[in-house]
A = this chain, B = another copy of it.
Amino acid sequence: MKGRVEIRIAGEGGQGVILAGIILAEAAAVWQGLNATQSQSYGPESRGGASRAEVIIDEEEIDYPRVRQPHVLLALSQEALDKYLPDVRDGGVVIVDQDRVVPPACPRRRLIEAPITRLAREKLGRAIVANMVALGVLARVSGVVTLEALRSAVAHRAPSGTEEVNLRALELGYHAPVREVSD
């Protein structure tokens, strides 16, 4: 990884967006020796149930901790995709859950579809760990963190008793069939 990478994770309340952001940031910083910030902003729109987490990863110190133009957008709901797709920079990566989202045209970005929630439900019987499946996809597709660093962060940060299913979800995502959609 070279230079500053801005990542936005967005979805609905209850999808574990914030925990995904925390684990991604800890993986990068605590387990991979980089600097990271992780943040949420809440305003009037927060009352609608949308949820958004931002992570910045850099080899250097991070002066400005807010995402302006994401290199990577992970969108777990249609609303999140529609709202944040325009911010993604040219050449950026957009990852969506193919069963929850109908992707619009996405010129100048890489659009990656994966069966995120379906894998969590069918392979693990727990749709709630779709957030960890999504992080596995993100690591594989974007290369911003290693699977090993994510595993360490999950083992230390996942709620007690849920470590094992979350680790399995990560692996599932990392090895998931993904489809790159071109315009």
For residue A44, which residues in chain B have a CB less than 8 angstroms away from its CB?
33, 35
Interface of A is mostly: mixed
- Determine whether the beta carbon of B40 is less than 8 Å from that of A25: yes
Copies of this chain present in the complex amount to: 2
Interface pair A65/B39, CB less than 8 Å apart = yes
Which residue of B28, B36, B38, B47 is within 8 Å of A30 (Cβ)? B47
A1-57 CB contacts (< 8 Å) to partner B: 13, 18, 22, 25-26, 28-30, 33, 35-44, 46-47
The residue in chain B whose Cβ has the minimal distance to the Cβ of A62 is B41
Q: Does A61 have its Cβ within 8 Å of any Cβ on chain B?
A: yes
CB distance from A6 to the nearest CB of B (A): 14
Partner of A46, one of B29, B43, B62, B159: B29
Contact B26 A42 (CB under 8 A): yes
Shortest 10 CB-CB contacts between residues of A and residues of B: A29-B42, A39-B39, A37-B41, A36-B42, A35-B43, A38-B40, A30-B46, A159-B159, A29-B46, A65-B66
